[in-house]
Amino acid sequence: MSYFRKLVIILAFTNFAGNIFAQSKDFDITKNLEIFFSALRELQNNYIDSLSTEQLIAYALEGITEHLDPYTKYVPAEQQTDFDFQTTGKYAGIGSLIQKDSGCILVAGPYRNLPADKAGLVAGDKIMEIDGKTTSVMSVNKASSLLKGDANTVVKLKVLKLRTGELADLSITRENIRVPSVPYSNIYENGTGYIRFPSFTVGSSNDIRNVLTEFRATGNLKSLILDMRGNGGGPLVEAVGILNLFLPKGITVVTSSGRKKETEEKYVTRENPVEPDLPLVILVDNSSASATEIVSGTIQDLDRGIIVGTNTFGKGYVQSVRPIGYDAQLTYTIAKYYIPSGRCVQAHNFATFSSDGSVSFIPDSLKKEFKTKNGRTVFDAGGVTPDVVIRGEEYSPMAVSLMRKNLIFKYSIEYFRKNQTSPPPDSLEITEPEYQDFINYLSDKEYDYQTASEMTMKRLINAAKQEKYYDNAKNSFDELNALLKHDKAKDLRINQEELVSLLREEISERYYYEEGRLEAMLRRDKQFDEAYNILNNPDKYNKLLNNPTTTAHNFKKDSNNYGKIFRSEK
């Protein structure tokens, strides 16, 4: 459509809108929409560069939603595929993670038994061309869009193979891909089952039901750990479906209430449970949100199981997704949800923002007490506080730097290139010669970090300068700085246990896919160990469920820093 034709349409629509709005009783809406259309017309007519009408409208809608809450978003037609993937876990493609590396697209990890895997692609293979287009200047997003397409269509790749160094021409037929919502599960010899559940998608509750059915078929299932750490939530009906696996038929597990009466709804379990009496522990953390908080909070409110980990995120809002024309959609908040005790876990007040754009937390003074079925005290307005609070692994500055630079992943690729096989994740050990090889690999790599001591020293120096003490003590500060300056060679030995664990995880994934990484991670997981010990100590389990004392109070959070990060996601 030509620029002139677009302008004529806008002007015509403006006049039409003006006539309609002139008849409206709501003068405020009429006035402001006329202002909006006038501004749009001026920009179309007089801005120094030619402007896209579609883009201007998109900017306007994004501006509106940005000033509401982070869950209210405009989804244009071109983003619909990504939006559908987030809610369904489905797309059509070859089934592999990719990343940009040294001027090409690198295969980061194919999914087991999907097209990329069946075609022989492995982590470390370099995709040089996609359908004849070179990847040397191609972004990951562009490569991803080219690899995706309709099911049963063919994508042609030119690949530099990791292990042979040869160029290979591959034709891979795309398939409908559904990323599994349960990437790893296991049942241990003592009858403790484990289900890793990192994301909600349509059908998640059936996936967990299927795993439970498999566990029951062994005749050995005695307890269960449901790991929902990092699970940011998803369809509310799937949360209800998961709860129905453990709770009797006819239980109201969550209610919603908003500004309009039609948003008021009760969600009730409608089937007989699969495991109504199975001892249950749910693992959560600060990234567990929304539907995850419905599951964990309801289990806690009804004293059906134990919650272990750290405070959850605190998202107590319900969203609706509505089409607004031309394949665009608007997802927006319509209600709050309430779990059986009557509490809402919403932790942030989006009605007001600080001058720096940060989100304020609901203060402790406004939080209310509620009771679980057995009389235990819980609180609203701050996520779900676990019955047993235990922090997860905290990585050293060196480990964080190596992960950010992707160096542990890259070393695992070298290990994979040199070794055709590897022991299973539960028995893989990194020998001293292998760890020394890792140290040698890092010798010419660029990475840096600041230790906690160095950061504290920096703050101390700044304080000394402000208080006019620094000049008199400069020599002492210099000497202490020299003593505290980090030494990479030394730190590689100090942090050896932690780095060996991370190496095991990456190497296990090279040979045993995502489930290999997850299995290796459990070898050094304090929260998992605590959950496992609770389930194997019936007295402790029952005491936690039946002790009518106040649960651990919510963690204090840095609202300023958190808010800045939260707002930057827009």
Of the pLDDT bands very low, low, confident and very high (cuts 50, 70, 90), residue 549 is low
Strand partners, 280: 224
Element (H, E) at 322: strand 317-325
Which one, of 191, 288, 287, 192, lies nearest residue 239 by Cα?
Answer: 288
The model carries a pTM of 0.85
- Residue 146: inside a domain, yes or no? yes
Domain holding 47, by residue range, is 3-75
- Residue 81: inside a domain, yes or no? no
In degrees, rounded to 5, the angle at the alpha carbon of residue 428 between the alpha carbons of residues 427 and 429 is 110
Q: Are 236 and 294 in contact (CB under 8 A)?
A: yes
Q: Are 337 and 316 in contact (CB under 8 A)?
A: yes
In degrees, rounded to 5, the angle at the alpha carbon of residue 311 between the alpha carbons of residues 307 and 317 is 100
**Do 153 and 194 have their domain in common?**
no
- Residue 82: inside a domain, yes or no? no
Q: 44 phi and psi, to 5 degrees?
A: -65, -40
* pLDDT of 1 over the 70 cut: no
Element (H, E) at 77: none
- Residue 279: inside a domain, yes or no? yes
Report the half-sphere exposure of 115 (CA within 13 A, side-chain side).
24
**Do 423 and 514 have their domain in common?**
yes
Of the pLDDT bands very low, low, confident and very high (cuts 50, 70, 90), residue 560 is very low
**Do 509 and 544 have their domain in common?**
no
- Specify the 3-state DSSP secondary structure of 360: strand
**Do 193 and 295 have their domain in common?**
yes
Q: Using one digit for the tens of pLDDT, what is the confidence trace for 71-103?
A: 899 888 777 777 776 666 678 999 999 999 888
Q: Using one digit for the tens of pLDDT, what is the confidence trace for 205-216?
A: 999 999 999 999
Can you tell me the mean pLDDT for 45-62? 86
Domain boundary among 178, 206, 223: 178
Q: Given this model, what pLDDT does residue 78 score?
A: 76
Q: Which residues contact 420 (CB under 8 A, 6 or more apart)?
A: none
The CATH number given to whatever domain includes residue 362 is 3.90.226.10
Q: Using one digit for the tens of pLDDT, what is the confidence trace for 19-30?
A: 554 455 567 888
What does the DSSP 8-state code read for residue 205? H
- Which amino acid is it at 53? T
Q: Using one digit for the tens of pLDDT, what is the confidence trace for 397-448?
A: 999 999 999 999 999 999 999 999 999 999 999 999 999 999 999 999 999 8
Q: Given this model, what pLDDT does residue 561 score?
A: 31
Count of structural domains, the chain: 4
Of the pLDDT bands very low, low, confident and very high (cuts 50, 70, 90), residue 2 is very low
- Residue 80: inside a domain, yes or no? no
* pLDDT of 12 over the 80 cut: no
**Do 220 and 263 have their domain in common?**
yes
Q: Given this model, what pLDDT does residue 352 score?
A: 64
- Residue 255: inside a domain, yes or no? yes
For the chain, the helix, strand and coil percentages under 3-state DSSP, each to the nearest 5: 40, 20, 35
* pLDDT of 34 over the 90 cut: no
Of the pLDDT bands very low, low, confident and very high (cuts 50, 70, 90), residue 570 is very low
Q: Given this model, what pLDDT does residue 10 score?
A: 45
Can you tell me the mean pLDDT for 469-475? 86
Of the pLDDT bands very low, low, confident and very high (cuts 50, 70, 90), residue 272 is very high
Q: Given this model, what pLDDT does residue 358 score?
A: 62
What does the DSSP 8-state code read for residue 366? G
**CA 558/CA 277 separation, integer angstroms:** 39
